[in-house]
Amino acid sequence: MTAPLLLVEGLRKRFGGLCATDDLSLAVRPGELHALIGPNGAGKSTAIAQITGEIRPDAGRILFAGRDITRLPPSRRVRRGLSRTFQIVQLLDEATTLENVALAVQAHQGHSFRFWRDARRDERLRQPARQLLLRAGVEAALWEQRTGDLSAGARKQVELAIALAAAPRLLLLDEPMAGLGPSESRAMTETLRGLKGRLAILLVEHDMEAVFALADRVSVLVDGRCIASGEPAEIRADPAVRAAYLTEDEEA
Ligand SMILES: Nc1ncnc2c1ncn2[C@@H]1O[C@H](COP(=O)(O)OP(=O)(O)OP(=O)(O)O)[C@@H](O)[C@H]1O
């Protein structure tokens, strides 16, 4: 079997008396879309934050591409190929869509572009930014608009383009469908389907329709522990998952 791209082993994180991550182990294979689901407060965002390095675990380790990254700062993890989006989108609202993404391209190219030219007008940054916007499914009509004027769905897609600017091998998506209407969610599902296979994706999401439409494998988190991990059909049929998590509504 292929070696996992991301391997989380025995991760633990306590907040005071609360065990938010409780001996969590998880493997994401290269190129797979792996969904991480679980009820509110199950510890999904806390797990993602430990994988990206924003939160330091109390115990356990995280291997990425076979190397131990448990103690690396977030910026070094990004350089190794780990990129993320947030539940709440973070954009420069006064800048246009294209400018936001051009700045992200600049941030990852480093050195030569800094200081002496305006990144927002530099064709060498705008051209790759357009490619990223196309990959993230952002319509060209929105590229010159202020991101502050965009719909929630379009903002999520721009944030995805920004995360892709890091050329990740693993993309961590924290609730990309949150706050979107049905048609925006369908558009995001199609965008993610288009990315599948080209990079690995760890998807935290409450929209079960999207999860089961997209995931190659699903892991279920309850009270900080992974209670099941497998293909979507196995997860749907797993009695422990049904008891702990999937409601009758969601199964329908
Ligand atoms: N910085 C913190 N300090 C104290 N408790 C925290 C902190 N961050 C998270 N928690 C608690 O840890 C638990 C797990 O939270 P987390 O946000 O990881 O869950 P989640 O599965 O992502 O939830 P949701 O689906 O609602 O986003 C919750 O009980 C939460 O209140």
Q: pLDDT tens digits for 124-153?
A: 889 999 999 999 999 999 999 999 999 989
Q: Is 24 in the pocket of ligand 1 (CB under 6 A)?
A: no
Q: Is 15 in the pocket of ligand 1 (CB under 6 A)?
A: yes
Residue closest via CA to ligand 1's atom 30 equals 41
Q: Is 88 in the pocket of ligand 1 (CB under 6 A)?
A: no
Residues in the chain: 252
**Amino acid 247: pLDDT:** 54
Amino acid at 16: G
| Main-chain dihedrals φ then ψ at residue 15, nearest 5 degrees | -115, 100
Pairwise CA distance, residues 223 & 129, whole Å: 40
Q: Mean per-residue pLDDT for 159-174?
A: 94
Residue closest via CA to ligand 1's atom 25 equals 40
**Amino acid 16: pLDDT:** 94
Structure tokens, 174: 């924290």
ipTM field: 0.96
Q: pLDDT tens digits for 11-28?
A: 999 999 999 999 999 999
Identify the CATH number of the domain defined by range 1-81+168-251: 3.40.50.300
Q: Where are the domains of the chain?
A: 1-81+168-251, 95-166
Q: Is 46 in the pocket of ligand 1 (CB under 6 A)?
A: yes
Q: Is 70 in the pocket of ligand 1 (CB under 6 A)?
A: no
Tell the burial category of 16 from Cβ atoms under 10 Å away from its Cβ (0-12, 13-18, 19+): exposed
Pairwise CA distance, residues 86 & 158, whole Å: 12
Confidence of residue 29 (pLDDT cuts 50, 70, 90): very high
Residue closest via CA to ligand 1's atom 5 equals 15
Q: Residues 6 or more apart from 47 whose CB is under 8 A from it?
A: 8, 11, 21, 24, 26, 36, 221
**Amino acid 87: pLDDT:** 63
Q: Is 42 in the pocket of ligand 1 (CB under 6 A)?
A: yes
Pairwise CA distance, residues 251 & 15, whole Å: 33
Residue closest via CA to ligand 1's atom 16 equals 43
| Main-chain dihedrals φ then ψ at residue 138, nearest 5 degrees | -90, 120
Q: Is 41 in the pocket of ligand 1 (CB under 6 A)?
A: yes
Residue closest via CA to ligand 1's atom 28 equals 41
Model pTM score: 0.91
Q: Residues 6 or more apart from 96 whose CB is under 8 A from it?
A: 120, 143, 144, 145, 146, 147
